[in-house]
Structure 1
Amino acid sequence: MEQIKAVQSTLAKPQKQRSGWSKGYLWGFLFVLPALATFTLFLWLPIFKGVLNSFYYVDFVKGDSFVGFDNYKAIFSDPDVLTSVKNTLYYMGLALAIGFWVPILFALCISEMRRFQGFARVAAYLPYVVPFVVLYGVWRWLYDPVGPINALLKAIGIGQINFMVDRSWSMISIVIMETWQSFGSAMLIYLAAILSVPRDWYEAAEIDGAGIWQRIRHITLPAIRNQIVLLLMLQLISTSQGFQTHYAMLDGGPNNATLTYALLIVKYAFVRQDYGVASALGVLMFLALSILAVIQYRVNNKGGVQG
C-alpha cells in the first residue's frame, strides 16, 4: 500500500506543476490580450481589408463591385507608378549618401570631445524635437529665392539655386532638411555604442602611438558595426515610406519630381477617389516592406542590436 501511495503522489506532482504552469500562462495571456486586441483592430484588420479592397472597385454609394486583378493591371499601365518607384529609390539612395553618415560623424566627433560634450549632445538632438509645422515653414524660408541660403550663395559667387522649383534640386533639398531634423536620434544611438567600448582599448592604442583616425578606423567603427547595419536597415524601411515631407513641402512637385510611392497611394485614394487601386498599391508596398522586415529580423538574430 505504501508503494502504491508513493507512485500516486509521484504521478500527482507533474499534474500540479502543469496546473500552475497553465495558470501562469493564462495570466500572461490576459496581460497581452489588450495589446493583441489593439494590433488586431488597428493593424491586421486594416491590412486584411486593404488586401480585400484591392480586388474590388470601391464605391461608398452604390456598393463595391468585384473586378479581380483589374486594379493591379491599372497599376502597371499607369506611368506615374513607375515615376514614383524611381523617385522613391532615388530618395532612398540620397538619404543613404547624404544623411546616413551624418549621425555617425557627429557621434565620433562628440565622443572625442574633452569639454562641452553634454552641450553638444543636447544641441545635436534639439532639431529632432522641432514641430513639423515649424520645421516646414522655416525651411521654406531658408530655401526661398531671396532667403538666407541663396543670399549666402550669391555672396560667395555661386549664384541663386531654385531649391523648390528646380527638378534636380527638389529631392536633394528634402533630404537635406530631413537629415538636419532627424540625425540627432540616430546620433545618440551611435554615441551610446561608442561610449560602451572599453576605454582600455583606446588607452592601449594611444600607448602604441595610434592617432585619432587610427583609433576610429581600427577600434570605434568595428565596435559599432552591428549598430550601423541595424540602423541602415531601419533607414531603408523608413525612407521607402517617404510621404509626409514630400506632401507638405512640394506635394510631389515640381512636375512629379518628388512624387514618392507612398504619396501616390494617398493621391489615388483621396484625390482620384480610386480606393481599389490605392489598396492594390498598398498591398505591393506591404510585400516589399515585409521582405525588408525579414532581412532586418535576420540581422537582429545575428547580433545586429548588440555592441
Structure 2
Amino acid sequence: MNQTTAVPRLPLDSLPKRPPAKWKKYIWGYLFLLPAVAIFFTFLWMPIGKGIIFSFYHIDFVKGDSFVGWENYKRVFKDPEVMVSVKNTLYYMGLGIVIGFWVPILFAIAISEMRRLQGFARIAAYLPYVVPLVVLYGLWRWLYDPVGPINAVLSHIGFDTILFMTDKAWSMISIVIMETWQSFGSALLIYLAAILSIPRDWYEAAEIDGAGIWGRIRHITLPAIKTQVVLLFLLQLIATSQGFQTQYALLDGGPNNATLTYALLVVRYAFTRQDYGSASALGVLMFLVLGLLAVIQYRISNKEGA
C-alpha cells in the first residue's frame, strides 16, 4: 500500500506577513517633512535656479527678457569695480581672521580658567551679540567720531586723531573691530561648551605632573577643541565672503570704494544700475565659490566626526 504524506494547511492568519515597504513605514515622517521641503524649494532652490537662468538673459520688465548668452559674464569680468570688490572682500576676510577669529578662543579659554564669576563673564561676553544693529551702528559712529571717546583717549596719550570712517586705510579695519566686538560672543559659547566638556581628570592629572596654565592650554585645551576651531574657521570664511550689511549701512562702500565688497557690488548692479542679468551672473560666481567652501566644510565635518 502506498503511503502519502499530506501537507497540513495552515490558517491564513498564521502565514508570515510581507514587511511593509520602507516608504509606507516612514510615510508620516515624510508628510511632516513635506511643508519644510516645499518652503525650502520655493524660497531657496527655485530662486537659485532662476538666478542661474537670468544670468544668461538681459532682464527688461517693460520690453521683455532677451537671451544674451555669456555677455553678462563677459561684462562683469571687464568691470574694474568687480576686481576692486574681490580684493576688498579678500582683505575683509583676512582682517576677520587676523583680528577677530582668535578673540572668542582666547576669551573662552580665559573664562574656563576662572574660579569665580564665570557665569557673569559668559553673560557679559554674549551681551553685545543681542544689541540691535541700529543701536550698534549709532554707538560705534559715536566712538569712531573725530571728537569721540577713542580719539579723545588717543589725543590724551599723544597720538594723532584717526579718521576711522573716512580714511581708506582705517575704514575696513574699523568695521572688522566693530563686528568682532558685536559677534564674538556666539562663537565664544561654542568654544566654551567644547572646553567644559573636556574631562576634568585630564587637567587634574596635568596639575599633578606639574603642568602650569600654559601647559594645560597647549597640551589639553587646544587639541581638544581642534574640530570646533576648524569648522568655525570655515564658517567665518563663508560669512565674511558675503559681507554686505555693515559696509552698506555705515559707509555704502566708501570712502572711494574702500569698503565695496563683492556682495555690495551685486546689490548695486541689481538695484542701482537695474542690471539684473549681470547681478545674477555675479551671484552665480559667488554661489560656486561658496559651494566649494561648503563642500570642504562638509568633508572636514565628516572626517572629524563632528
Structure 1 length normalisation: TM-score? Answer: 0.95
* Distance apart, 1:24 and its partner CA: 2.5
Question: What is the aligned residue count?
Answer: 301
* Distance apart, 1:2 and its partner CA: 4.1
The aligned amino acid for 2:245 is Q
The aligned amino acid for 1:57 is H
Change (3 A) 1:222 1:6: farther
* Distance apart, 1:25 and its partner CA: 2.0
Q: Who wins on radius of gyration, i.e. which is larger?
A: 2
Change (3 A) 1:158 1:22: same
Q: Which residue of 2 aligns with 1:174?
A: 175
The aligned amino acid for 2:244 is F
* Distance apart, 1:5 and its partner CA: 4.4
Q: Which residue of 1 aligns with 2:145?
A: 144
Q: Which residue of 1 aligns with 2:20?
A: 18
Q: Which residue of 1 aligns with 2:288?
A: 287
Partner-residue secondary structure (3-state), 1:178: helix
Q: Which residue of 2 aligns with 1:109?
A: 110
Q: Distance in 1 between matches of 2:238 and 2:14?
A: 57
Change (3 A) 1:65 1:158: same
Contact 1:227 1:304 in 2 (8 A): no
Q: Which residue of 2 aligns with 1:212?
A: 213
Deviations 1:178-218 (A, max 9, x none): 00000000000000000000000000110111100000000
Q: Distance in 1 between matches of 2:13 and 2:252?
A: 76
Deviations 1:96-147 (A, max 9, x none): 0000000000000000000000000000000000000110011011101011
The aligned amino acid for 2:50 is K
How do residues 112-261 of structure 1 correspond to structure 2 at under 5 angstroms? 112-261=113-262
Change (3 A) 1:223 1:6: farther
Contact 1:230 1:304 in 2 (8 A): no
Partner-residue secondary structure (3-state), 2:182: helix
The aligned amino acid for 1:132 is L
Change (3 A) 1:91 1:7: same
Q: Which residue of 2 aligns with 1:301?
A: 302
Contact 1:127 1:184 in 2 (8 A): yes
Q: Distance in 1 between matches of 2:101 and 2:215?
A: 22
* Distance apart, 1:61 and its partner CA: 1.1
The aligned amino acid for 1:104 is I
Q: What are structure 2's unaligned runs of at least 5 residues?
A: 1-5
Q: Distance in 1 between matches of 2:8 and 2:244?
A: 74
Q: Which residue of 2 aligns with 1:264?
A: 265
The aligned amino acid for 1:294 is V
The aligned amino acid for 1:293 is A
Identity rate of aligned residues, in percent? Answer: 73
Deviations 1:209-261 (A, max 9, x none): 11000000000000000000010011011000000000001100011100000
* Distance apart, 1:299 and its partner CA: 1.1
CA-based RMSD? 1.5
Partner-residue secondary structure (3-state), 1:258: coil
Partner-residue secondary structure (3-state), 2:116: coil
* Distance apart, 1:3 and its partner CA: 6.0
Q: Distance in 1 between matches of 2:285 and 2:245?
A: 20
Q: Which residue of 1 aligns with 2:66?
A: 65
Q: Distance in 1 between matches of 2:198 and 2:176?
A: 31
Change (3 A) 1:6 1:55: same
Partner-residue secondary structure (3-state), 1:252: coil
Q: Which residue of 2 aligns with 1:74?
A: 75
* Distance apart, 1:302 and its partner CA: 1.2
Q: Distance in 2 between matches of 1:9 and 1:293?
A: 53
The aligned amino acid for 2:232 is L
* Distance apart, 1:4 and its partner CA: 6.6
Partner-residue secondary structure (3-state), 2:60: coil
Partner-residue secondary structure (3-state), 2:20: helix
Structure 2 length normalisation: TM-score? Answer: 0.95
Q: Distance in 2 between matches of 1:55 and 1:4?
A: 70
Partner-residue secondary structure (3-state), 2:115: coil
Q: Which residue of 1 aligns with 2:3?
A: none
Q: Which residue of 1 aligns with 2:35?
A: 34
Partner-residue secondary structure (3-state), 2:253: coil
Q: Which residue of 1 aligns with 2:49?
A: 48
